């Protein structure tokens, strides 16, 4: 990492001169959390390098990421004013859109959706846009196309740590941070096993411009996010993203904005146990058609499926939901040392609470704060890492619990009791919402 010292030293106009006692930090994984950490350390003049196996930070999947107040505060510190303003200029303000609603699988409105844990001051941003802004802030500390194959430690608490990469290179550091997501190689090195397991649902996401929908359906969906629930453990989340119409800043769109007009960023959910074989290996139009067929087979109507039918095939991708430990005792169970981890590597979080990325970002900011306390002589490196891990155990497992609530509710419709309740309750709920709508002159419903 010798060469990164000079890179970090020129990172920011107000960069303080790093004292020689600063640890050299190696981050494995340049996704959301790893890049946030690298950006924050670089901004503060640390010697940091982040390696990711991807060759292009834009070549990433996912729909939109919700950033709540703690995540935004962390990003403001980690990114600095220019990159932070660029991010907000590409985001859509949650507060400016009407409340989320839920539908059933026939397209009948069931009412307002009580989104647990939703912070009204949150913003939504494309996952790709967020990663691009973070990569710009991480600058030349980011090494792409670099797959870590092994982690090694010399014996003793102060022993040097090393990472080996697929091209045969070896990088030495004083602190190695695994930000390599669920199934983390770094966490497997620390504990002997991965820290996550399948959550039971497989997600397929895609993007559909609102203008590509039939006007009647676009009107019914409205400029709001929704969740449609169906039988046999199926659901369809439809996030509404409009960084221009629901702008956060009075400023031109940010240069990394992927979404430039009203767009539904959707995610279909299917129980992994009954999802069509081979779904994970498919992409594009083939994957889109497989999902449509699977949802139709469980009784979904054509109207709610139109967002999927009309999606841009190049945006359609599948990914499994994985989940980490839901109790602080099981999270980051290794003794503090010179190898640690953050984000999904510690607390893999299904996207159902919209908190996974935000939590990884807050992890990064807590670790930067602790390393600054170490620099100030308030903590040894060991106690700084230990304080960070203590914090991440509690915050991370709480978010895992929150996100699994929705996963369990969706999967419950696949049980015999849940399936019977869905059959009986959804039409009743839809009818009562329609009646309320007629009496109050408010939103109505129509079948799909
Ligand atoms: C494809 C995808 C789509 C998602 N979509 C959404 C969404 O729409 N909404 C939502 O709320 N959450 C979504 N999530 C989850 C959310 O993005 C994560 O919770 C959040 O990104 C966690 O950040 P992280 O840095 O811990 O992990 P990640 O952002 O997943 O980053 C991990 C990084 O490590 C790299 N990596 C892994 N192994 C190695 C290795 N051996 N060597 C080098 N690099 C390695 C990977 O390439 C990846 O870039 C998605 C996750 C993925 C993977």
Q: How many residues does the chain have?
A: 448
pTM across the whole model: 0.90
* pLDDT digits 0-9 by tens, 21-55: 899 999 999 999 999 999 999 999 999 999 999 99
The fraction of the chain above a pLDDT of 70, given in percent, is: 89
Higher pLDDT, 436 or 312: 312
Does 140 score more than 70 pLDDT?
yes
* pLDDT digits 0-9 by tens, 154-194: 887 778 899 999 999 999 999 999 999 999 999 999 999 88
- Please report the pLDDT score of residue 13 as a whole number: 38
CB 134 within 8 A of CB 39: yes
CB atoms within 10 A of CB 398: 17
- Please report the pLDDT score of residue 440 as a whole number: 55
Domains in the chain, number: 1
Sign, CA torsion 251/252/258/261: positive
Q: Which residues line ligand 1 (CB under 6 A)?
A: 28-34, 51-54, 60-65, 127, 147-148, 179-181, 185, 319, 343-345, 349, 351, 354, 356-357, 360
Residue 163: φ, ψ to 5° = -120, 140
* pLDDT digits 0-9 by tens, 350-389: 988 889 999 999 999 999 999 999 999 999 999 999 999 9
CA atoms within 13 A on the CB side of 197: 5
Does residue 245 belong to any structural domain of this protein? yes
CATH of the domain at 312: 3.50.50.60
> What's the CA-to-centroid distance between 360 and ligand 1, angstroms?
10
Residue 117: φ, ψ to 5° = 80, 5
Sheet (strand 123-126) strand order: 64-67, 123-126, 92-93
- Please report the pLDDT score of residue 111 as a whole number: 83
Higher pLDDT, 290 or 64: 290
Does 298 score more than 50 pLDDT?
yes
| Rounded distance between C-alpha atoms, residue 90 and residue 68, angstroms | 15
Question: Which of 27, 31, 187, 399 maximizes ligand 1 atoms within 8 Å of its Cβ, making it the mutation to test the pocket?
Answer: 31
CB 23 within 8 A of CB 367: no
Question: Which of 176, 180, 237, 283 maximizes ligand 1 atoms within 8 Å of its Cβ, making it the mutation to test the pocket?
Answer: 180
Does residue 442 belong to any structural domain of this protein? no
Does residue 441 belong to any structural domain of this protein? no
What are the start-end ranges of the H helices in 298-343?
302-309
**CB neighbour list of residue 331: distance below 8 Å, 6 or more residues apart:** 195, 324, 325, 346, 347, 392, 393, 396, 397
Domain containing residue 7: 2-412
- Please report the pLDDT score of residue 401 as a whole number: 93
Does 130 score more than 60 pLDDT?
yes
| Rounded distance between C-alpha atoms, residue 53 and residue 247, angstroms | 33
The one-character DSSP state at 278 is T
Does residue 436 belong to any structural domain of this protein? no
- Please report the pLDDT score of residue 442 as a whole number: 52
Does 251 score more than 70 pLDDT?
yes
The fraction of the chain above a pLDDT of 90, given in percent, is: 73
Does 445 score more than 80 pLDDT?
no
Task: For residue 383, list its beta bridge partners.
Answer: none
Does residue 221 belong to any structural domain of this protein? yes
- Please report the pLDDT score of residue 430 as a whole number: 65
- Please report the pLDDT score of residue 4 as a whole number: 35
**H/E stretch holding 171:** strand 170-173
- Give the atom of ligand 1 at the shortest distance from the alpha carbon of 31: 31
- Give the atom of ligand 1 at the shortest distance from the alpha carbon of 149: 41
Task: For residue 163, list its beta bridge partners.
Answer: 151, 171
| Rounded distance between C-alpha atoms, residue 323 and residue 353, angstroms | 12
3-state class of 273 per DSSP? coil
Residue 397: φ, ψ to 5° = -70, -30
Does 5 score more than 50 pLDDT?
no
Does residue 224 belong to any structural domain of this protein? yes
Does residue 260 belong to any structural domain of this protein? yes
Confidence of residue 1 (pLDDT cuts 50, 70, 90): low
Does residue 274 belong to any structural domain of this protein? yes
CB 305 within 8 A of CB 179: no
> What's the CA-to-centroid distance between 377 and ligand 1, angstroms?
33
Question: Which of 38, 94, 205, 344 maximizes ligand 1 atoms within 8 Å of its Cβ, making it the mutation to test the pocket?
Answer: 344
User: What is the average pLDDT value for the chain, to the nearest integer?
Assistant: 88
| Rounded distance between C-alpha atoms, residue 351 and residue 380, angstroms | 36
* pLDDT digits 0-9 by tens, 387-413: 999 999 999 999 999 989 889 988 888
> What's the CA-to-centroid distance between 303 and ligand 1, angstroms?
32
> What's the CA-to-centroid distance between 127 and ligand 1, angstroms?
10
**CB neighbour list of residue 404: distance below 8 Å, 6 or more residues apart:** 199, 323, 326, 350, 352
* pLDDT digits 0-9 by tens, 322-357: 999 999 999 999 999 999 999 999 999 998 888 999
> What's the CA-to-centroid distance between 22 and ligand 1, angstroms?
28
> What's the CA-to-centroid distance between 332 and ligand 1, angstroms?
18
Question: Which of 66, 129, 181, 237 maximizes ligand 1 atoms within 8 Å of its Cβ, making it the mutation to test the pocket?
Answer: 181
Does 15 score more than 80 pLDDT?
no
């Amino acid at each position: 990492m010798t060469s990164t010292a000079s890179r970090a030293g020129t990172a920011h106009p107000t960069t303080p001169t790093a004292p020689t006692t600063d640890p050299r930090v190696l981050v494995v994984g340049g996704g959301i959390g790893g890049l946030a950490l690298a950006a924050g350390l670089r901004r503060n003049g640390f010697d940091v390098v982040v390696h990711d196996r991807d060759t292009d930070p834009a070549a990433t999947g996912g729909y939109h990421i919700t950033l709540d107040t703690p995540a935004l505060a962390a990003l403001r510190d980690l990114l600095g004013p220019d990159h932070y303003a660029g991010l907000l200029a590409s985001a859509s303000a949650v507060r400016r859109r009407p409340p989320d609603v839920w539908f059933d699988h026939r397209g009948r409105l069931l009412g307002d959706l009580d989104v647990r844990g939703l912070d009204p001051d949150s913003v939504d941003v494309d996952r790709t846009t967020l990663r691009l802004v973070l990569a710009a802030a991480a600058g030349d500390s980011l090494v792409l196309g670099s797959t870590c194959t092994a982690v090694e430690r010399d014996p003793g608490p102060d022993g040097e740590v090393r990472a080996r990469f697929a091209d045969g290179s070896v990088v030495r550091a004083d602190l190695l941070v695994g930000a390599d997501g669920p199934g983390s190689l770094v966490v497997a090195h620390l504990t002997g096993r991965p820290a996550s397991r399948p959550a039971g649902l497989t997600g397929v996401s895609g993007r559909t411009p609102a203008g590509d929908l039939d006007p009647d359906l676009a009107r019914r969906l409205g400029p709001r996010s929704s969740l449609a629930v169906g039988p046999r453990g199926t659901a369809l989340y439809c996030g509404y993203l409009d960084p221009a119409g629901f702008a956060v800043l009075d400023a031109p769109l940010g240069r990394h904005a992927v979404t430039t007009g009203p767009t539904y960023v959707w995610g279909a959910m299917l129980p992994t146990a009954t999802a069509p074989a081979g779904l994970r290996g498919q992409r594009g139009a083939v994957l889109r058609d497989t999902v449509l067929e699977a949802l139709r087979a469980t009784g979904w109507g054509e109207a709610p499926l139109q967002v999927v039918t009309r999606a841009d095939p190049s945006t359609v991708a599948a990914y499994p939901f994985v989940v980490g430990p839901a109790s602080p005792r099981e999270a980051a169970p290794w003794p503090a040392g010179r190898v640690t981890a953050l984000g999904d590597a510690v607390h893999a979080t299904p996207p159902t609470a919209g908190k996974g990325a935000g939590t990884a970002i807050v992890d990064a900011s807590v670790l930067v704060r602790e390393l600054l306390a170490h620099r100030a002589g308030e903590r040894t490196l060991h106690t700084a890492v230990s304080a960070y891990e203590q914090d991440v155990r509690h915050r991370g497992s709480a978010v895992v619990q929150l996100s699994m609530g929705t996963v369990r509710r969706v999967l419950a419709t696949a049980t015999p009791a849940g399936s019977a309740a869905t059959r009986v309750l959804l039409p009743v709920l839809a009818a009562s919402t329609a009646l309320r709508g007629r009496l109050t002159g408010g939103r109505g419903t129509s079948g799909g």
